[in-house]
Structure 1
Amino acid sequence: MSGPTFEFATATRIVFGPGRAQELPALVAGWGERVVVLTGSRPDRHRALIDALPMDAAIVTVSGEPTVGVAREAVAAAREHGAQAVVSLGGGSVIDLGKTVAMLLGNGGDPLDYLEVIGRGQPIGRPSVPFAAVPTTAGTGAEVTMNAVLASPEHGRKASVRARSMLPALALVDPLLTVDCPPAVTAASGLDALTQCLEPLVSRNATPITDALAAQGLRHAAAGLRAAYADGTDVAARTEMALCSLLGGLSLANAKLGAVHGFAGVIGGLVPVAHGAICAALLAPVTEANVRALRERAADHPALAAYRQAAELLTGRSDATVEDGVEWIAATVRQLGITGLAAGGLDPALVDEVVDKTGSSSSTKGNPIELTPAELRQALVAAL
């Protein structure tokens, strides 16, 4: 009898804990004399930490999710500075942009040379320059993933640049950096983190390692998500969600995602809505579609048991059914003020286009069962 075979890859070093961001200068010492620091639209929030870095730092601010054009501008600024290393201090968008900049500094070329789907998809042959990811939201887990998502308004699509060499040299996760996240960001990023634990748990690419990490991530989501939204200064809840996000990133990087993120990549290229809010609106309808399809066409599929496990972890009840888990998710989405996709600007006339593109998305390939166009359509309409 042959056992499972799998691989697992992550950041070279993970440093976690409240207050540990202060160690950043010591952790990047030796990375060169010049660094480019990518951060959000309010870099003064991190001024003391940036000023303490042991190298000459150029600051590039990022507002909104990164586009191909933004990536080109950031790389140009880094090259002009002569940067030998990259540090991202921010949310998933800032970290994804940092991964892209570090990769392009190491490999040369243009983002479209390497982008999947809409670009040339060239292999990334050389290592990135040293890159440190310091998240200030608890959501994407981008600090431990090997891809970076860029939007291309020209193509109306989001796509990834992806290589194992893009994994950060350092993932520094300090829950205290998330304390001043506004409630809407806490909600969207937190529901993204939950999604990124649930989808790998039921993924067709799941492994024993990712199962353990994703399940633990769901435990942290259950303990921290609603509490962090209710009181952003609750450090215990923020720590739960930072762990959830980290564990989700570790899981998705090695087991992939599913149809929720398949939809989100397409919709995110069409409407300016936070990625996590898109995932949140879709999570319950897609879960329902998956469970229904599995029961109809693959009743003995291990993903059904995984969905039951998720329900138990989220509700805290050993007798919880899959439906109880779906209702916990739906109730949390309502409690956290997430609106439907139509309210976010998705034109219902685009439903068929979104469904068509979602079916071929790389994330959708990890879904536990192949959903028909009609099933995808039903889930998307329910999320409007």
Structure 2
Amino acid sequence: MTRFELAIPGDVRFGGGRLSEVPDALAGWGARRVLLVTGRSPDRAAALVEGLQTRGLVVTRYAVSGEPSIQVVRDGVAAAAGCDAVVGFGGGSAIDVAKAVAVLAVRGADPLEHLEVIGAGRPITAAGLPCVAIPTTAGTGSEVTRNSVLSGDGVKASLRSPLMLPRLAVVDPDLLLGVPVATIAASGMDALAQLIEPFLSRKANPVTDALARDGIVRSARSLRRARRDGMVDPSVREDLAIASLFGGLCLANAGLGAVHGFAAALGARLGAPHGAVCAAVLAPAIKVNLRAARRVRDRSAVTWFADLAVLLTGNPTARPEAAAGWLTELTTALQIPGLRTYGLTDADTAEVVAAAQRASSMKGNPIELTDDEVAEILARAT
């Protein structure tokens, strides 16, 4: 008998222009002072700030310039003093910091109290400040997930709890206008990975399967166009925004796999953007996973790869191998750099393989990979 659970925010709003609804939502909750967490370009939030202030809300701003870290969250908790709501506006880093600050600021807790792997890992039991998540890149899907990924001690680990789901997620495709093409490429590949890995996951369920199928098709038909032409076409913006949203819902409810196992192992080590690591690893991971499925004679898994190939290529007779081939061609078309660009060397292989194998994301990988197979993925991604 099929059994599954779904964890999603209580209010998800999608559509062009829906950013304008945020001030009224916050005011309706009784918020008076808001911590606004942005990325490295806080000016992009000018219209939101104006709307909040017009509604009578006091705005405290906190900019996150890079990947989220334990110290960045500590500083954010300090900045939230006196605030009664938190808004994350930006890419996955800004939103992850906003979610972490919202849940920790209520009692001034330190991230290490609850952080997995490198912290005490204590369960989060108290609701945080109301949190609004507003993505401005089509990548992480963090606006609908229940964790926040932070770096520390050379690794990445998560704060994780259903209490970290934002109270409101607003996905406005118009916010993708003006996003740099390199960001479009890396974020788009990250979103695609977050659709493909849950689709292939051992923890997939009928809901995530349906969302992943739709999202993969949308990403496949629009990501190259976005890299070539930018986000000028509204249909492209909508496709990639939906793909990212669906990817977040899928990963939150069906898990991930080897691609994100490497992201956990390499993100803090290399200082590389999360999306860039996922983009470099995706095609090699699919290629090696298919061969591993055949090694263990898992016919069901091989069928999933065949389904993936059909979704990506649009060819109803596509062979399973076509998925990795199509993704390799996409990686080239999007000008995704290899991991050596970020300083990875052959001397790092043993430590990276061990770290990737320990990553929680590996639990959802369709096949249990050997160390040699994991090392091959890494070599192909350099």
Among 62, 75, 81, the residue aligned to 2:64: 62
Query: Does the alignment pair 1:34 with 2:36?
Result: no
1:234 deviation in Å?
A: 2.0
Query: Does the alignment pair 1:346 with 2:348?
Result: no
Query: Does the alignment pair 1:76 with 2:78?
Result: yes
SS of alignment partner, residue 89 of structure 1: strand
Amino acid corresponding to residue 196 of structure 1 in structure 2: Q
SS of alignment partner, residue 342 of structure 2: coil
1:150 corresponding residue in structure 2: 150
Among 209, 214, 217, the residue aligned to 2:215: 217
Structure 1, residues 189-230: CA drift from partner, whole Å, max 9, x if none? 000000000000010111111111111110110121111111
Among 153, 165, 168, the residue aligned to 2:166: 168
Amino acid corresponding to residue 248 of structure 1 in structure 2: G
Provide the rounded CA distance (Å) in 1 between the counterparts of 2:361 and 2:350: 18
SS of alignment partner, residue 148 of structure 1: strand
Structure 1, residues 36-68: CA drift from partner, whole Å, max 9, x if none? 000122222221211211311101011111111
Percent identity over the alignment?
Answer: 48
2:284 corresponding residue in structure 1: 285
Provide the rounded CA distance (Å) in 2 between the counterparts of 1:209 and 1:223: 22
1:108 corresponding residue in structure 2: 108
1:107 deviation in Å?
A: 4.6
1:359 corresponding residue in structure 2: 357
Show the 5 A alignment for 1:1-384. Answer: 3-31=1-29, 32-53=31-52, 54=55, 55-79=57-81, 82-152=82-152, 155-232=153-230, 233-300=232-299, 302-384=300-382
Provide the rounded CA distance (Å) in 2 between the counterparts of 1:279 and 1:165: 27
Q: 5+ residue gaps in structure 2?
A: none
- Cα-Cα RMSD: 1.0
Is the CA contact (8 Å cut-off) linking 2:286 and 2:323 kept in structure 1?
no
SS of alignment partner, residue 143 of structure 1: helix
Structure 1, residues 75-100: CA drift from partner, whole Å, max 9, x if none? 10111xx0111001100000000000
**Pair 1:127–1:337, CA change in 2 (3 A):** same
Is the CA contact (8 Å cut-off) linking 1:342 and 1:348 kept in structure 2?
no
Is the CA contact (8 Å cut-off) linking 2:149 and 2:159 kept in structure 1?
yes
Which region of structure 1 is more displaced relative to structure 2, 111-120 or 342-351?
342-351
Is the CA contact (8 Å cut-off) linking 1:149 and 1:160 kept in structure 2?
yes
Structure 1, residues 4-53: CA drift from partner, whole Å, max 9, x if none? 11101101111001111111112222332111000122222221211211
SS of alignment partner, residue 171 of structure 1: strand
Which region of structure 1 is more displaced relative to structure 2, 346-355 or 248-257?
346-355
SS of alignment partner, residue 223 of structure 2: helix
Amino acid corresponding to residue 288 of structure 1 in structure 2: K
1:288 deviation in Å?
A: 1.1
Provide the rounded CA distance (Å) in 2 between the counterparts of 1:259 and 1:278: 12
Which region of structure 1 is more displaced relative to structure 2, 42-51 or 172-181?
42-51
Amino acid corresponding to residue 34 of structure 1 in structure 2: R
1:299 deviation in Å?
A: 2.7
Is the CA contact (8 Å cut-off) linking 1:107 and 1:125 kept in structure 2?
no
Amino acid corresponding to residue 98 of structure 1 in structure 2: A
Q: How many residues in Structure 1 have an aligned counterpart in Structure 2? A: 377
Is the CA contact (8 Å cut-off) linking 1:40 and 1:90 kept in structure 2?
yes
Structure 1, residues 326-345: CA drift from partner, whole Å, max 9, x if none? 11111111111111101221
Is the CA contact (8 Å cut-off) linking 1:115 and 1:159 kept in structure 2?
yes
Amino acid corresponding to residue 376 of structure 1 in structure 2: V
Is the CA contact (8 Å cut-off) linking 2:77 and 2:108 kept in structure 1?
no
Amino acid corresponding to residue 16 of structure 2 in structure 1: P
Which region of structure 1 is more displaced relative to structure 2, 344-353 or 89-98?
344-353
Amino acid corresponding to residue 351 of structure 1 in structure 2: T
1:273 deviation in Å?
A: 1.4
When the two structures are superposed, what TM-score results if normalisation uses the length of structure 2?
A: 0.97
Provide the rounded CA distance (Å) in 2 between the counterparts of 1:353 and 1:91: 29
Structure 1, residues 300-330: CA drift from partner, whole Å, max 9, x if none? 2x33222211111111111111211111111
SS of alignment partner, residue 339 of structure 2: coil
Amino acid corresponding to residue 111 of structure 1 in structure 2: P
Is the CA contact (8 Å cut-off) linking 2:136 and 2:176 kept in structure 1?
yes
Structure 1, residues 221-263: CA drift from partner, whole Å, max 9, x if none? 0121111111112221111000000000000000000011001
Is the CA contact (8 Å cut-off) linking 1:258 and 1:366 kept in structure 2?
yes
Is the CA contact (8 Å cut-off) linking 1:37 and 1:89 kept in structure 2?
yes
Is the CA contact (8 Å cut-off) linking 2:62 and 2:76 kept in structure 1?
yes
Structure 1, residues 156-206: CA drift from partner, whole Å, max 9, x if none? 001100001100111100111011110110000000000000000010111
